[in-house]
Amino acid sequence: MNLVSIEARLQELGVTLPTPVKPVANYVPTVQTGNLVFISGQIPAGPNGPEFIGKLGADCDIETGRAAARLCAINLIAQLKGAVGDLEKVVRVVKLTGFVNSTGDFTDHPKVVNGASDFFVEVFGDKGRHSRSAMGVAGLPFGVAVEVEGIFEVA
């Protein structure tokens, strides 16, 4: 049984959730159907806009990519909280899909997306363990290094 609230765990990790980013195109940030919440892809955006610009295998190393993926995960949690109000309603992180802006010969996409996966386990414990896809892409919005989308089960 988890004795520490999710909000307290975030605080222990030094994370303050940002205000959820509003869509910049024709989509909604979250859709809930039944007990599943689907969250649109989140980029590594901070208070001053997109961060971690570049391609893995050219401009960014794996640790930079991991940091970008972690920031994507923070933004996913902010969207989730905005959608359901209380993070204690999270039953499970179901699935993440990570997109890595990378050169054609870069093959460490899973190591990069671990930045998000590891963060969800740090925050949610066993409820944070999830299925996942990690893939390389030729480009991402604003030239960011990583984008992550997620599916969450809530009570």
Length of the chain, please? 155
Count of structural domains within the chain: 1
Instruction: Please indicate, yes or no, if residue 1 is contained in any of the structural domains.
Output: no
Domain span including residue 86: 6-21+31-154
**How far is the C-alpha of 128 from the C-alpha of 59, rounded, in Å?**
30
Instruction: Please indicate, yes or no, if residue 26 is contained in any of the structural domains.
Output: no
The fraction of the chain above a pLDDT of 90, given in percent, is 95
| E strands in 29-104 | 30-33, 36-42, 45-46, 49-50, 90-101
Instruction: Please indicate, yes or no, if residue 47 is contained in any of the structural domains.
Output: yes
1: pLDDT confidence band, cut at 50, 70 and 90? very low
Counting Cα atoms < 13 Å in the Cβ hemisphere of 107 gives 1
Residue 13 burial class via C-beta count within 10 angstroms: exposed 0-12, middle 13-18, buried 19 and up: exposed
2: pLDDT confidence band, cut at 50, 70 and 90? low
pLDDT in tens, 43-81: 999 999 999 999 999 999 999 999 999 999 999 999 999
Model pLDDT, residue 24: 83
Q: What is the mean pLDDT of residues 104-117?
A: 98
Instruction: Please indicate, yes or no, if residue 106 is contained in any of the structural domains.
Output: yes
CATH of the domain at 117: 3.30.1330.40
Burial readout 125-139 (b: 16 or more C-beta within 10 A, e: otherwise): eebbebebebebeee
| E strands in 27-72 | 30-33, 36-42, 45-46, 49-50
Instruction: Please indicate, yes or no, if residue 63 is contained in any of the structural domains.
Output: yes
